[in-house]
Structure formats: C-alpha cells, structure tokens
Chains A and B, each alone.
Chain A
Amino acid sequence: MRIAIASGKGGTGKTTLSVNLAKYSSLHHRTLLADLDVEEPNSGVFIRGKKLAEQEVFRMVPFWEEKKCTLCGKCPYYCRFNAVLRLGEKIVIMPELCHSCYACSELCPVNALPMVADPHGIISHYLSDSLDFVEGRLHIGEEQAPPLIKETVKYTDNLRPAFEMEFWDSPPGTSCPVITATYGADLVILVTEPTPFGLYDLQLAAETMRKIGKQTAIVVNRIGIGNDDVFKYCAEQGLSVWATIPDRREIAELYSRGELIYPEIEEYRKAIDVILQRIKDIEGQLCEK
C-alpha cells in the first residue's frame, strides 16, 4: 500500500505524522518512508540510520555547441521558458528554467544544441533499525521539483523485496510538485488543523485530490486550538476523518528536538494505531477487487 501524506499548507504536522507512522509501522511490517518534499526534505531530522546508497540525479538540458551554431536565432524563439537566450553572438542556456522539453535541441537545423546531463539532486537511502528511508533532495538553486520527485519514486519502485507499507511525505500546497508526488499513491492522507486557515487550505487540497481522482482520508491535528468547522466540512463532503491529535505543547517540544512522538505521548500512539488499522481495512477492500 502506498500512502501519500499531504496538506494544503505547511506547518500542519505532516512530516511529524509521516515519520511517526512509518517508524511505528516498521516494527511489524516491511515499511518504507520516502521524503518527496525535495525542495526542503526534513523528515531526515527524525531518522537516524546507516546510509545504504546514494544516487546523483540528472536532468537533460541543452548545451550550446558554438562551433556548429549558425546564429539563425530560432532556439530563443522555440523556448517558452526563457531558458535559451541570445546575447549578441552567443547563445546562453539557463538550466534552472529549462523544462527538458527538447524542442530547441531537436528543432535546431544544425544540431548545435545537444542535450546533456545537468546535476539536479540526490537520492539518499538509509536504514534506520527496520525502517527503509529514502530522501530526494534538490541541489541549491534548482527550481523544479517534479523531475526529482519522479526519479525518487522510481528508485523506491525498484527496491526489493517490495514493501508492505510505503509512506510518502509529500510537499505542502496544491501545485505541480504535490500532484507529481501523489500521482502514484493508492491513498492520500490530508493533515489539517481545526482553524479557518486549516479549513481553507484543506478545501483546496481536497479539491485537488478529487480532480486527480485520489482516495482521501483526513487527520485533524492540534485539536483544541480552534473550532468544529473542519469536521462539518468533512461531513458535508463525505470525507472520512480517521484520527484526531490533541494540541500538546510536549508534542511541539519533542518535534523541535527532532524526536519521535509516539513513544512519549499515549494519545499520539493511539491515533497512529487507528490510522494503521484503517489503512489495513482499505487494503483489504482493494484486494477484494
């Protein structure tokens, strides 16, 4: 089962939940935690383990072969992302802006723009007790998350033996990176808070998941800081709230020290138990089909 953990906004406790779910699950099942928040992967703060492997990831970007170029001026016109510019007699490539569409390269009449590998990011694989942890991390200055997210998912696909449970810590928000990260998931858990901010961003996230056809479950974090509107919304929309987690200062403190929550806080562990049980139920249903 592949479960993506996402949220409409940052700061809802998504990473904390992903890490704790994965660690707890790994006590009984072969489990993977993947950090797909490649611009700012921070679940690694909580996971200490042995590094098993590291893989450089590249993107294909054009390279200007000055000697072959006739300065026809077509390539800056073909590039819609301003990644190919003409400065007088020189063509300049901005790899950060390139979307790797290959248009400039394949349409160049004299083949002066071959595509070459440009360092994009790193995939790291750790083993923490019995939990496999894979992290995708963009190099500083790289602007595009989707290519690395796809590669990280591919890397996890190739790991053997296959995992019983996979938890994917996804980027926050509702744009391209999130859609890429949740694309291959069987189920998406949305973490939210019972405040107007949380509700508003949950609406955006839930709509996005509906648009891409993903089964969704809700976890409401920090109960006590707000009101019931979030629950009313979920009931109206037919969204199932699987668990609620109380707002505890101790949880925030443990988080700030990079420590796991469930060994210390009983309610958190109970919430995780419930979530894992609901996942098993869904798994059962999927198998029956």
Chain B
Amino acid sequence: MREIVIISGKGGTGKTSVAASLAFITGERAVMGDCDVDAADLHLILDPDILERDDFFSGVKAEIDQNTCNGCGKCHEVCRFDAVLIAGSTCRIEPLKCEGCGYCSYVCPVDAIDLKEQNIGECYISRTRAGSYMAHSRLGIGADNSGKLVTRVKRDARSLAEKTKNDYIIIDGSPGIGCPVIASLSGADFALMVTEPTRSGIHDLQRVWELSRNFKIPTGCLINKNDLNHQMSKEIETYLHNNGIRFLGAIPYDTDFHKALSRGQSVIEYNPERWKPFFRELWNKIRE
C-alpha cells in the first residue's frame, strides 16, 4: 500500500484541484483522504455519498455545576484567559475564551468544575463520484485543527484501503507548516508539493520542504500558474534541482480550473482532451 500526500504550504495554490484530478485518473484504484480539515474542500468536487458518520471529540472546556458552586471566585482568580464570569452568587465559564487548561478545576474547593470533552466535528466515510472511497471530516466553528483529526482521517483511509484491497491512498494534506501538516506527512511514501511562482509561494515551499526532508520522504513538485512569472518559475526549478526534489511539471494559469470548479467538476471532466493526458502522465511519474 502506498500513500501519496499532496501539500502546499500556502493556500490557494491549487492543491485540492490537483488531488481531485488525480482521483478521477485513479478512480477505484485509490482511496482518498481529505486532511485539509480547516477548509475541507475536496468533497465539493468529488460529491461523496456518506456511508458512515462519527462524532469527533478533542480538547476540553471547563463547566461549572451551578448547584454545587458556592461563588467563592477562586476559579476567577486563577484563570489567565478571562474565561470565568462571576454572575451574582455563582461563577460561570465563557466557553469561547476557555482554553481547557484545567487550572480552575484543580483549585475549586467544592469540586464544582468538570472538564468536558468537546464534540468539535464529524468524521465521514464515503463513496465518491470517481468511484473511490474517501475518508473526510468537518470541523465545527472556531474549532482548532490538530494532528489528532488528521491522524483519524488517515487511519480511516488506511482501513478503507485494507478492506477494499486498494494499493494507493491519496491524501489532500493540510496547508501550512504546523502540526497538522506533520501529521499529514507522517507515514507517507511520497510527497507531492504544489506551489506557485510568487514570493509567498516560494517561501512556503521552502518551509514545507524542510518538513518533508526531515522525514526523508521522496518528494516531487508541481508548479501551478507557472506562466504568471517565468523568472520565479525558473527560480523554483533551480531550487528543486539543487535540493534533489523531482520536478513533476508545470501548469499554466488556466481558467479551465475555475470553470470546472464552478460546475462542481474536476478539469478532467470539463476538458478531458486537454487535462486527462497531463494528469495521467503526472500519476505515472508519481508511481515510479
């Protein structure tokens, strides 16, 4: 079983469009995983039918039992996040401000404070339009992403692949360079970086490469919208060459992507003659 993770550093480089296109090339032969949990968008193109749904819990917030609370205010004294309000004769927690540190619960003299596990989202297992299975999720408002949810989605993708005896898992990874990206990359057999020829694109590419290199994961790179700035594209290609990163191709700025997207399609469906060969070629290069 081989796991391919698609990452990008900054948002908006076209990572998800690439993942969706690969989904249509591989069809039933690959299981998809959407680990971009802050803005899980892959489902907008793949339009999955949800087969299983599960609540996802992460983190805690304090809750004060209004019957047990004696209003002493010790919790208010120790809270560094202004999350405790004194309302009349009892104390209350302001959930939006509570960071779940537990300090208040440690000092409450009457044991009135509980740390409640938060249901911050849902995990799904679905079947996509492309014929493949997909593991994905949805986070609630204001919920924090973490390695935990990414790991859960990857684990679900893995079980799906084992059950359906699939050889490949394609993961739409988290953007950025923090914990969720690390969790996305962890255990991958190949990392596909999608970048664009802008200052911030290059900068984030370098930071994401640090991570991938640290994990010693074979890496390849695709330059999207490369004709926006040929000089920078060349700069990127040189950087890739100097760092042993396989240059997997360039996609010019093309309105096909937006047009396809606004119809809820991948470019492969919208304009197959132009894009099918490109992505098939890309997939073959990745498989080597």
Contacts and interface: CB of A to CB of B under 8 A. Distances in A.
Interface string A194-223: 111100110010011001100000000010
B200 A45 contact: yes
A11 interface: yes
A227 B259 CA distance: 9
A50 B183 CA distance: 40
Contact of B10 (A10, A197, A201): A10
Given A78-B106, A211-B142, A252-B228, A40 B204 contact: yes
B199 A42 contact: yes
Nearest to A15: B200
Interface residues of B, number: 52
A80 B262 contact: no
Contacts of B81: 101
A103 B101 contact: yes
B71 interface: no
> A-side binding surface: helix, strand, loop or mixed?
loop
A257 B229 contact: yes
A254 B11 CA distance: 19
Given A10-B11, A173-B38, A256-B228, A197 B142 contact: no
> B-side binding surface: helix, strand, loop or mixed?
loop
B232 interface: yes
Nearest to A74: B106
A75 to B, nearest CB: 12
Contacts of B225: 252
Interface in A37-72: 39-40, 42, 45
A81 B148 CA distance: 13
A80 B176 contact: no
A81 B11 CA distance: 28
A186 to B, nearest CB: 19
B27 interface: no
A162 interface: no
Interface centre among A175, A196, A208, A226 (most CB of B within 10 A): A196
A222 B228 CA distance: 16
B262 A173 contact: no
A174 B96 CA distance: 13
A154 interface: no
A200 B45 CA distance: 12
A102 B103 CA distance: 8
Interface string A251-265: 011011110000000
A80 B80 contact: no
B220 interface: no
B41 A208 contact: no
A195 B261 contact: yes
Contacts of B203: 40, 42
B11 to A, nearest CB: 2
A230 B272 CA distance: 27
A176 interface: yes
A101 B99 contact: yes
Interface string A264-279: 0000000000000000
Contact of A143 (B12, B39, B178, B262): B178
Interface string A102-115: 11001100000000
Nearest to B43: A200
Interface in A77-121: 78, 80-81, 99-103, 106-107
A228 to B, nearest CB: 9
B39 A204 contact: yes
A8 B81 CA distance: 25
Interface of B: 10-13, 16, 38-39, 41, 44-45, 60, 78, 80-81, 96, 99-103, 106-107, 115, 139, 141-145, 175-176, 178-179, 196-200, 203-204, 225, 228-229, 232, 253, 255, 258-259, 261-264
26 contacts: A8-B39, A9-B39, A10-B11, A10-B175, A40-B203, A42-B199, A78-B103, A78-B106, A80-B115, A81-B101, A102-B103, A103-B102, A103-B106, A106-B103, A107-B106, A176-B144, A179-B142, A196-B41, A196-B44, A200-B39, A211-B96, A211-B141, A212-B96, A225-B258, A247-B258, A253-B229
Interface of A: 8-12, 39-40, 42, 45, 78, 80-81, 99-103, 106-107, 143, 172-176, 179, 194-197, 200-201, 204, 207-208, 211-212, 222, 225-227, 247, 249, 252-253, 255-258
Given A42-B199, A101-B102, 20 more contacts: A11-B11, A12-B12, A40-B10, A40-B176, A81-B101, A99-B101, A101-B80, A102-B78, A102-B103, A103-B78, A173-B38, A175-B143, A196-B45, A197-B41, A201-B41, A204-B39, A211-B142, A225-B261, A227-B263, A256-B196
The 7 residue pairs across chains A and B that have the minimum distance between CB atoms: A11-B12, A10-B11, A225-B258, A101-B101, A226-B262, A103-B103, A196-B44
